[in-house]
Structure 1
Amino acid sequence: MPDDIRRALIASLFGTLPIFAGGVVNSIMVAAIIAGRMATPVFLGWLAVEVAICALRLVVLLTCFRNAARGRPTPTDVYLLLGVCWAGSVGFGAFISLLSGDWVIATLACMSAAAMVGGVCFRNFGAPRLAAAMIVLSLGPTCLAAPFTGEWIMVATFVQIPFYLVSMRMAAYKLNGLLVTTMRAQAENQHLARHDALTGLPNRVGLMHAIEERADRRVALLYLDLDGFKAVNDGHGHAAGDRLLTCAADRLRTLLRSGDFAARIGGDEFVVVARGVDRRQASSFGERLIQEIGQPYDLGQGLVVRVGVSVGVALAPDHGEDVPDLLDVADTALYLAKTAGKSRCVVAEAPAQAAGVV
């Protein structure tokens, strides 16, 4: 399973505070009512354990929310373990209530445990094994108590409860499968919408999205155009042209630093966005791209071709913040690079300077 989907499934287990509060209020209220009716050490101890577990779950949940908002690690394992403990506490309450011989509290405790099962299944179907464990711990103890109630009819729970547990477990896995399938399809559609099908690089939409979400305001946008690509494409066929574009994209990836990215925005045009570089560094990077991408390409079947690359550079925020503005400035610089003899890098002048390039 892809990491992004796994992270989303884990995040879904936390739910929201209102959902959390509903389950906590119900279980504590039931435990308090029963402990008030049966004020024995075992029931009072159960109430104390229930309150302690729910309080710890609230503290851990708030910690997870706070850490996630700050981009810090969350105590997810502790939160899930406390969820399992909570289910065990609910099941224990049903167990001792059935053994008490008081059918009022037994009914109340078992109704609470049964009501919890539905919520556990549909709230935790992102992790079906967790849901199954919580269902077994919350409702399974009623089967263990049945032989000791003195009522032979309770033996029916040995058929009823396991059947119910299996059904809810299957429902959790089914919902999980549907959710994962939907998330995979959504992720694939988003990838296709933002990436070039031939090279796998981001397309124009992906480029705009990446620049808009950048953390570093100072970036250089390098607009690349392959010199001589049309001759290869026309002289050796579109298949050779596609292989050349794929090879150029692969070579481009190897030249990127951490945090940089490249995109293909159409035909033989590529864009590289380099973060945290100044005018001189952008020019130096452009020259390196010209040198490396201009090396010969072995396209197979004995076909070796060589193309050049012209580069126009725009700087953010000097030449603007928006992608269209940066592309326009870089495109103008690229035109000047081509008219100056191709296989050149031209950095657009700062707006405060006279019109032209350096």
Structure 2
Amino acid sequence: MVGGICFRNFGAPRMAGVMIGLTLGPCCFATLFAGEPIMLITFMQIPLYLFSMTVAAYKLNGMLISTMRAERENAFHARHDMLTGLSNRAGLTRAFETRFGSASAPHGLALIYLDLDGFKSVNDTHGHPAGDALLQLVAERLRGLVRSSDLAARIGGDEFVVLSEQTERVQLQRIGERLVAEISEPYELDSGHRLHIGASVGIALAPEHGTDMNALMVAADAALYQAKSRGKSLCVIASQRAVIDGQGAGNRPLLH
């Protein structure tokens, strides 16, 4: 009976200890008045049994908590970029499917595709550790720029994506231009280096430019290509023509 109490309630070990105490505690005192000397053995056994089963409940609770934490961490790492802490490709795709779903969804989404200008020269000049530190600073700055309802992701290399429920073109243009301006501000590394990079932005809308991640990435990539071809550090919102050009260009890998 006490074993059942322990194993059924180890999620709340203090409660299990109280239940065990209330179950066996009266037996300890009852032996003093039972008139059977042999029953005094239980007076010595029961406290030890109560202590050991309570300890077992706490240990089982600790194992449960450790397992839950490990599962939570694994789920986090599966959907987040290890370097920056932002969402990764899998997390971005899941967020899109959750927020947009199908073509019949009642609301739209904007995919803001951001690519750093001049990042390769940072790696070549200062080394990959400096490049990694710079990406972390960019992610931190990007996290502070987006709204709480938006999702920021790093999808590889120096490429970032913001998934936003803002679909007004004028507002999106302002958001994109602000991202370009803020991301292009100088960065101070712990090593003392002061680094300068730029950013180009391409924006695609769902369902206007597609109803799945691949279609939106194609459209946003085409818009980003236009921004870079016009001199970089610009924000361009995709058009239907840009979608066609992007399908032919295939400059960047798509989400799978």
TM-score (norm 2): 0.84
Q: Does 1:131 align with 2:16?
A: yes
Q: Does 1:311 align with 2:179?
A: no
Q: Percent identity?
A: 60
2:94 to 198, 206, 209: 209
For residues 207-260 of structure 1, the C-alpha deviation after alignment (integer angstroms, 9 at most, x for no partner) is 222333338943221110001111222122222212211111111111121121
Q: With CA pairs under 8 Å and 6+ residues apart, which has the higher RCO, 1 or 2?
A: 2
1:272 Cα offset (Å):
1.0
Within-5 A mapping of 1:12-161: 115=1, 117-161=2-46
* Distance in 1, Cα, partners of 2:130 & 2:217: 28
Given the superposition, is the C-alpha separation of residues 276 and 145 from structure 1 closer, same or farther in structure 2, using an over 3 Å criterion?
Answer: farther
* Distance in 2, Cα, partners of 1:153 & 1:300: 74
Structure-2 residue corresponding to 1:237: 127
Moved more, 206-215 or 284-293: 206-215
1:276 Cα offset (Å):
4.0
1:194 Cα offset (Å):
2.0
Q: Which amino acid aligns with 2:33?
A: F
Q: State the SS of the aligned residue for 1:343.
A: coil
2:215 to 325, 345, 348: 325
Listed as ranges, the gaps of 5+ residues in structure 2 are: 101-105, 244-256
For these two proteins, the number of residue pairs brought into alignment is 238
Q: Indicate if the aligned counterparts of 2:206 and 2:216 stay in contact, CA closer than 8 A.
A: yes
* Distance in 2, Cα, partners of 1:220 & 1:197: 25
Q: Indicate if the aligned counterparts of 2:166 and 2:172 stay in contact, CA closer than 8 A.
A: no
* Distance in 2, Cα, partners of 1:130 & 1:142: 19
Structure-2 residue corresponding to 1:355: 241
For residues 72-96 of structure 1, the C-alpha deviation after alignment (integer angstroms, 9 at most, x for no partner) is xxxxxxxxxxxxxxxxxxxxxxxxx
Moved more, 150-159 or 207-216: 207-216
Q: Indicate if the aligned counterparts of 2:83 and 2:132 stay in contact, CA closer than 8 A.
A: yes
Q: Which amino acid aligns with 2:200?
A: S
Given the superposition, is the C-alpha separation of residues 130 and 355 from structure 1 closer, same or farther in structure 2, using an over 3 Å criterion?
Answer: same
Q: Which amino acid aligns with 2:138?
A: A
Q: Indicate if the aligned counterparts of 1:279 and 1:315 stay in contact, CA closer than 8 A.
A: no
Given the superposition, is the C-alpha separation of residues 328 and 123 from structure 1 closer, same or farther in structure 2, using an over 3 Å criterion?
Answer: farther
Listed as ranges, the gaps of 5+ residues in structure 1 are: 1-114
Within-5 A mapping of 1:292-307: 292-307=182-197
Structure-2 residue corresponding to 1:199: 84
1:300 Cα offset (Å):
4.3
**Greater fraction helix:** 1
* Distance in 2, Cα, partners of 1:212 & 1:276: 17
Given the superposition, is the C-alpha separation of residues 301 and 150 from structure 1 closer, same or farther in structure 2, using an over 3 Å criterion?
Answer: closer
Structure-2 residue corresponding to 1:335: 225
Kindly name which structure, 1 or 2, has the bigger radius of gyration based on alpha carbons.
1
Q: Does 1:265 align with 2:155?
A: yes
* Distance in 2, Cα, partners of 1:341 & 1:223: 17
* Distance in 2, Cα, partners of 1:171 & 1:217: 52
Q: Indicate if the aligned counterparts of 2:6 and 2:54 stay in contact, CA closer than 8 A.
A: yes
1:294 Cα offset (Å):
0.8
